[in-house]
């Protein structure tokens, strides 16, 4: 009879201990996730109300990406008795699903997920062109290009010189000037065409500039008149020159 009484008391004690443990232990109340793609930073904010964060705490955080384990973190306490944030460096791409599970040291867990948003991208603007619209064949001329990107992405310039040759620059900071020299070998009128491409590969609108390389006879007349026209004593030389053409 006495043995049966002791067994009954032991069962009651075990049940009572179980009830006490489960009264103290509980699932974390809340978890919020935030991911910054540019910095590859995952912020995990957890609310887990406890009396003693050294004895009752979030002891493990598992991170999965697209249903595959990425990493697991172990803890011996939690930073506060209520709400706290852990920060992780996570390499994730657009449309990846990040799943986070937090486990209580006594019992219970909480799980949340997020999908990495696709980055919005707007093309750079049409580049300005600054340079001469006429010149002489065989001479190098500088042309300066400038375009800005709405997201401040770096840009490069894709240039068609209109003579069958083209050129791609390296990436440069948005809004910075880039100067390129070019030589047209033949006497003709050319259309320079240029557009900017951002570092994500998105093309902006074109801009054009018509450039004339005059023929040799026109170039000689131009240079002669420029040199002698303002000198009256050279009038006869001008007439002689024209009659000799």
Domain containing 171 — which CATH number?
Answer: 2.60.40.10
Tell me what pLDDT residue 237 has: 55
Q: Which helix (H) or strand (E) holds 223?
A: helix 216-228
106 within some domain: yes
Six token digits for residue 28 = 């974390």
- State whether 70 and 97 are in the same domain: yes
If 0-12 CB within 10 Å is exposed, 13-18 middle and 19+ buried, where does residue 186 land?
exposed
Q: What is the DSSP string of 95-141?
A: TPEEEEEEEESSS-EEEEEEEPPPPP--PPPPPEEES-SB--TT-EE
Model pTM? Answer: 0.48
Structure-model confidence comparison of residues 49 and 25, the more confident one:
49
Confidence of residue 13 (pLDDT cuts 50, 70, 90): very low
Using alpha carbons only, what angle is made at residue 60 by residues 58 and 61, rounded to the nearest 5 degrees?
105
Is residue 51 a contact partner of residue 89, using CB atoms and an 8 Å limit?
A: no
- Distance, in Å, from the CA atom of 65 to the CA atom of 231, rounded to the nearest integer, reads 82
pLDDT tens digit sequence for 193-230: 999 999 989 999 999 999 998 755 555 555 555 555 55
Residue 30 lies in a domain: yes
185: three-class secondary structure by DSSP: coil
pLDDT level of residue 232 (50, 70, 90 thresholds) = low
pLDDT on residue 158: 97
* pLDDT of the residue at 23: 42
pLDDT of 93: 87
Number of domains in the chain: 2
Final residue of a domain: which of 58, 87, 115?
A: 115
Structure tokens at 20: 């006490």
The terminus-to-terminus CA distance of the chain in angstroms comes to 139
What pLDDT score was predicted for residue 15?
Answer: 46
* CATH at residue 95: 2.60.40.730
Q: Domain ends where: 61, 84, 115?
A: 115
Q: Say yes or no: 142 and 84 in one domain.
A: no
Q: Residue 48: which of 36, 40, 56, 38 has the closest Cα?
A: 56
What pLDDT, on the 0 to 100 scale, is given for residue 37?
86
Q: Are 127 and 146 in contact (CB under 8 A)?
A: yes
At 226, give phi and psi (nearest 5°). -60, -35
Which whole number is the average pLDDT over 87-101? 94
* 192: pLDDT strictly greater than 70: yes
Residues 135 and 183: their CA atoms lie apart, in Å, by 10
85 and 151 both lie in a single domain: no
Mean pLDDT, range 156-182, rounded to an integer: 96
Average pLDDT (69-75) is 97
The token pair at 26 is 């509980």
> Can you give the residue range of the structural domain that contains 170?
128-218
Q: Indicate the residue among 73, 93, 115 that finishes a domain.
A: 115
């Amino acid at each position: 009879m006495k043995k049966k009484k002791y067994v009954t008391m032991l069962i009651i004690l075990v049940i009572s201990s179980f009830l006490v443990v489960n009264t103290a232990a509980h699932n974390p109340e809340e978890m919020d996730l935030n991911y910054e793609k540019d910095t590859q930073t995952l912020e995990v904010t957890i609310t887990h109300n406890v009396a003693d964060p050294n004895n009752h705490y979030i002891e493990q955080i598992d991170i999965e990406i697209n249903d595959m384990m990425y990493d697991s973190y172990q803890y011996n306490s939690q930073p506060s008795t209520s709400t706290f944030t852990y920060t992780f460096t996570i390499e994730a791409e657009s449309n990846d699903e990040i799943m986070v599970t937090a486990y209580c040291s006594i019992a219970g867990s909480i799980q949340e997920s997020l999908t990495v948003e696709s980055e919005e991208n707007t093309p750079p603007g049409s580049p300005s062109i600054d340079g001469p619209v006429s010149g002489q064949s065989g001479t190098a001329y500088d042309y300066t290009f400038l375009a800005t990107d709405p997201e401040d992405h770096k840009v490069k310039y894709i240039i068609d010189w209109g003579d069958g040759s083209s050129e791609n620059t390296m990436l440069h900071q948005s809004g910075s000037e880039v100067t390129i020299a070019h030589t047209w070998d033949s006497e003709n009128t050319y259309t320079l065409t240029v557009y900017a491409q951002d570092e994500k590969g998105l093309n902006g609108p074109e801009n054009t500039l018509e450039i004339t390389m005059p023929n040799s006879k026109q170039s000689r007349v131009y240079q002669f008149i420029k040199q002698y026209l303002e000198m009256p004593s050279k009038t006869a030389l001008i007439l002689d020159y024209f009659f000799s053409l």
